[in-house]
Amino acid sequence: MKQFIILAVIAFFSVIVQAQSPFSKHEISLNGFRNPSIGGEYRYKHVSVHAGYYPTNLESGVTTEFIRTGFTYWFLPVGKKENPSSFYTSLSYARGQSRAYKGKDAFMPEVGFRWMAYKGLNLRLGITGLAASGSSFEINPTPGISYSFFFN
């Protein structure tokens, strides 16, 4: 667990030194599936905040639910599009809503890639950790689909 958190923190701070941003100045995203949560997100240049409902299957066929909020840092844009695809690293606070995590506080470091598929439609694939007191550290994939509105 410590290694994953250290890796996420290093990735987060190693890219802060970027001089120019090819990212739009403002972005609002409606996140329709799991990554970072089913909810909303607001990005200003390289940094975004998100909040919403996060379902996950920590064991086959069993859905565990969380309310999730956090910050994301976007870096290493890919391509020449006006709104490029890019990598990201994120740190979230989650509150368990069901199963063994009901009422528990958890932290979720994450790294991944967002592909800008068509105009505002984007697909994400990441890997997140889930750390909660009294529970073992979990790692799981985090696919997502979102639609973003850009304001330059």
Helices (H), the chain: 2-14
The tokens describing 16, both together, are: 């802060």
pLDDT single digits (tens) 107-147: 999 999 999 999 999 999 999 999 999 999 999 999 999 99
Q: Which amino acid is at 142?
A: T
pLDDT single digits (tens) 41-89: 999 999 999 999 999 998 889 999 999 999 999 999 998 888 899 999 9
C-beta atoms surrounding 75 within 10 Å: 17
45 backbone φψ class: left, alpha, beta (φ>0; ψ -120 to 50)? left
Query: Which residue segments constitute the domains of the chain, with CATH numbers given?
Result: 2-16+28-151 (2.40.160)
Residue with tokens 């905040």: 49
